[in-house]
Structure 1
């Protein structure tokens, strides 16, 4: 009985195994660059995953292109520029600071300032209410 359960488990689990892309490089430096670049580039379809972590077809294509560009001798910046040209600044986890990406850089700071301002206003309102209640009691 246990053999049948084990066999059934293996048969049912076989389609769930993900295909692992294996890329061959001439040097370990090329392999390290590939891993670093695939972690640095964002999948345009998944949006919150690097192309190293994504199973989307576009991420596979980007990994393939990254590997071939590294083998051809392109620099890391050339690889990143290639994908930024095709998919925009969003594809990079470290977009440049310019007028198009200013919201990405200034947005969190603006939201934090709005939050601090809201907290200050709430504290002032609460202290005024406490003062008014104390004056009414006397």
Structure 2
């Protein structure tokens, strides 16, 4: 009797696990965002302004007239129609074209110099200026002491 009881219990647990998985997958499929046409237009333009065109130098997707920019704008609007979020769309395009498609790259070890380079350069210039001014004052003090 205990063997059939454990067998029945295992079947119930398996059925529960299957139902739980099915409900989670159905919920994930229904988690798509439903945008209005105005929201799609505004969000699509916003994304196109934030991403760099792979073919044009210093132009975003919105301003670029390159064929690839038109294709990518179409991809953005298609994904918005399918209910994808802004983050999902940007992640998809970054996976496809690399981090260079962003105007503001995400912080990582590879982009740390981009984020901190200007600050390091500024501190270096300030340090150089302070040292140079101190040296100039030392030389002036030495000259003033030798003439007295």
Asked if these proteins are the same fold (TM beyond 0.5), I'd say: yes
Instruction: From the CA coordinates, give the structure whose radius of gyration is larger.
Output: 2
Query: Paired residue for 1:63?
Result: 73
Q: 1:76 pairs with 86, 89, 93, which one? A: 86
Q: In the aligned structure 2, how far is the partner of 1:137 from the partner of 1:61?
A: 76
Query: Paired residue for 1:126?
Result: 136
* 1:14-44 Cα deviation digits (max 9, x unpaired): xxxxxxxxxxx95111111011101111122
Q: 1:38 pairs with 19, 34, 48, which one? A: 48
CA distance 1:47–1:115, shift in 2 (3 Å)? farther
Q: In the aligned structure 2, how far is the partner of 1:57 from the partner of 1:133?
A: 68
Q: In the aligned structure 1, how far is the partner of 2:141 from the partner of 2:67?
A: 63
Instruction: Compute the TM-score of the two structures, normalised by the length of structure 1.
Output: 0.72
Q: Which runs of 5+ in 1 are unaligned?
A: 1-24
Output aligned runs, 1:78-93, within 5 Å.
Answer: 78-93=88-103
Query: Paired residue for 1:97?
Result: 107
* 1:80-102 Cα deviation digits (max 9, x unpaired): 01110011112112322122221
Q: Which runs of 5+ in 2 are unaligned?
A: 1-34
Q: In the aligned structure 1, how far is the partner of 2:130 from the partner of 2:37?
A: 57
Q: In the aligned structure 1, how far is the partner of 2:147 from the partner of 2:72?
A: 71
After TM superposition, which residue ranges in structure 1, 4 or more long, deviate above 4 angstroms?
A: none
User: The residue matched to 1:46 in structure 2 has which SS?
Assistant: coil
Query: Paired residue for 1:5?
Result: none
